[in-house]
Structure 1
Amino acid sequence: MENLLNNMKMEVHDNLYLKEPFSSELGSSIAQEGAILIRDLGMEHFTFKKLALHIGVTEAAIYRYFENKHMLLLYLTAWYWAWMEVNYVYATANLKSSKSRLSIAMKLMVNGPIFTKNIHINPMDLRSIVVNESLKGYLTKTVDTEHANGIFAQVYSFGGRISELIVEISPTYPFPKTLAYTVMESSLLHAFNARHLPGMTEQSLDSENRLVFFEELIVKAISND
């Protein structure tokens, strides 16, 4: 199974790019090395000029694939959520229990991907980007237009699976989507805080209690509907 996933390329919305990155060696390098630079520099200091120097091409060549660095960030974020959905599908394929599948989903949200190798982009680089940078892609003046253009299809697809699980377990719970996306976003924020703002949490980044906290958050919410 891991060999299959290792070679799998994620399909994301085509409004995220001008030219599909993995359709060429140059595009692949832009996505792969761009992910590494964003991980290392952060969005504030990452530029297409730095990426162009890093991979030995002109800035104009990069602009043939992505409109700007914001769209590259959204592309990498979408790739991550598509990868997370694939992780969920394969990890729960033989599980009939809704609660067992929810347990897997919680581990994915709190700890990141179960399958951590892919020849196209390093999933753990994407995990770092999503924890540290992804909110910078959403909290913008252009978010409504991007939403209308389907830019966030992958995060919706993964979150939809979680909310469906909540409904399976507790059909009368009135806020399955709100709960699912609250846990998705807050688990990322907690991972950020644990590393950078430890005064905002009792738990360290590697603490098993991080998972316990979010599991209790969901279980108690849907058990008291």
Structure 2
Amino acid sequence: MESILRKLKVEVNEHLYLKDPFSSELGIAIVQIGAKLLLELGVENFTFKKLAQEIGGTEPAIYRYFENKHKFLLYLTGWHWAWMEHNLAFRTANLPDPKEKLELAIRLLVEGPIITHNDYLNPIEIKNIVVNESLKGYLTKSVDLEHESGIFSQLYAFGERIAQMIREINPSYKYPKTLVSTVLEASLLQSYNSKHLPGMTESSLDKEGRFEFFHHLVLKTIIHE
């Protein structure tokens, strides 16, 4: 199954691109090299002009695939959440206990994808972009229109899968989607803080510590509400 996922071309909402980047060698170069450049520079300093120089192409050629760098960032984050959902579905397929499934889901949120190889994009590289940059893609004036066009469908689908696990454990818990989105965003922020704003978290809170924190938080919330 892992070999199948490795060759999987992850589907991302079509409103995020003008032309499917994986439909041509140029498009593949734009996404693969663009992801590396975005991770290196950050969204503020990343430009299509710099990307064109890296791939030996032109800015107009890049604009045939993506409307702007904002949509490019959302494309990469959409790819990440779709990939995370594939990881979650694969790893929980044979787990009958919803608590076990939820534990794995929280570990995914904290640690990133379990299956770390894909022939099209580097899941670890994309995960690091999501940690560093993804909230910048959501907190914008255009978010309502983007929501209406389904741009966040991959994120919603991943969150809903985890929310359903919470419902299985405690059907009477009223706020599964709110709890999932809170943990999802907080897990990204704590990963970011541990590297860049250490005063915002305990110095001992490594990856395993973050997992224990969020796992305890979620279970105590839904079982002892």
| 1:145 correspondence with 2:145 | yes
User: What is the identity, as a one-letter code, of the residue corresponding to 1:52?
Assistant: A
Tell me the alpha carbon deviations over residues 4-26 of structure 1, each in whole angstroms, 9 at most, x when there is no partner. 11110111110000001101111
CA distance in 1, matches of 2:182, 2:113: 19
Aligned residue for 1:65, secondary structure, equals: coil
Q: What is the 5 A alignment of 1:3-82?
A: 3-82=3-82
Given that 2:163 and 2:180 are in contact with CA atoms closer than 8 Å, whether structure 1 keeps it comes out as yes
CA distance in 1, matches of 2:119, 2:204: 31
Aligned residue for 1:29, secondary structure, equals: helix
User: What is the identity, as a one-letter code, of the residue corresponding to 1:94?
Assistant: N
CA distance in 2, matches of 1:205, 1:148: 38
Given that 2:111 and 2:207 are in contact with CA atoms closer than 8 Å, whether structure 1 keeps it comes out as no
User: What is the identity, as a one-letter code, of the residue corresponding to 1:188?
Assistant: L
Aligned to 2:190: 190
User: What is the identity, as a one-letter code, of the residue corresponding to 1:17?
Assistant: Y
Given that 1:32 and 1:121 are in contact with CA atoms closer than 8 Å, whether structure 2 keeps it comes out as yes
Aligned to 1:94: 94
1:2 Cα offset (Å): 2.0
User: What is the identity, as a one-letter code, of the residue corresponding to 1:10?
Assistant: V
1:205 Cα offset (Å): 6.3
1:204 Cα offset (Å): 4.7
1:203 Cα offset (Å): 4.2
Aligned residue for 1:151, secondary structure, equals: coil
Given that 1:198 and 1:204 are in contact with CA atoms closer than 8 Å, whether structure 2 keeps it comes out as no
| 1:208 correspondence with 2:208 | yes
TM-score, normalised with respect to structure 2: 0.98
Tell me the alpha carbon deviations over residues 3-48 of structure 1, each in whole angstroms, 9 at most, x when there is no partner. 1111101111100000011011111111111110011110011000
Judged with a 3 Å threshold, the aligned counterparts in structure 2 of structure 1 residues 215 and 115 are, in CA distance, closer, same or farther, namely same
- Ranges in structure 1 where 5+ consecutive residues have no aligned partner: none
TM-score, normalised with respect to structure 1: 0.98
Given that 1:203 and 1:210 are in contact with CA atoms closer than 8 Å, whether structure 2 keeps it comes out as no
Please give the root-mean-square deviation of Cα atoms over the aligned residues, in Å: 0.9
* Number of residue pairs aligned between Structure 1 and Structure 2: 225
CA distance in 2, matches of 1:107, 1:215: 8
Percent identity, aligned pairs only, is: 59
Given that 1:99 and 1:169 are in contact with CA atoms closer than 8 Å, whether structure 2 keeps it comes out as yes
Aligned residue for 2:182, secondary structure, equals: helix
Given that 2:110 and 2:207 are in contact with CA atoms closer than 8 Å, whether structure 1 keeps it comes out as no
Aligned residue for 1:208, secondary structure, equals: helix
- Ranges in structure 2 where 5+ consecutive residues have no aligned partner: none
Q: What is the 5 A alignment of 1:79-158?
A: 79-158=79-158
CA distance in 1, matches of 2:173, 2:94: 26
User: What is the identity, as a one-letter code, of the residue corresponding to 2:115?
Assistant: F
CA distance in 2, matches of 1:204, 1:74: 32
CA distance in 2, matches of 1:109, 1:203: 20
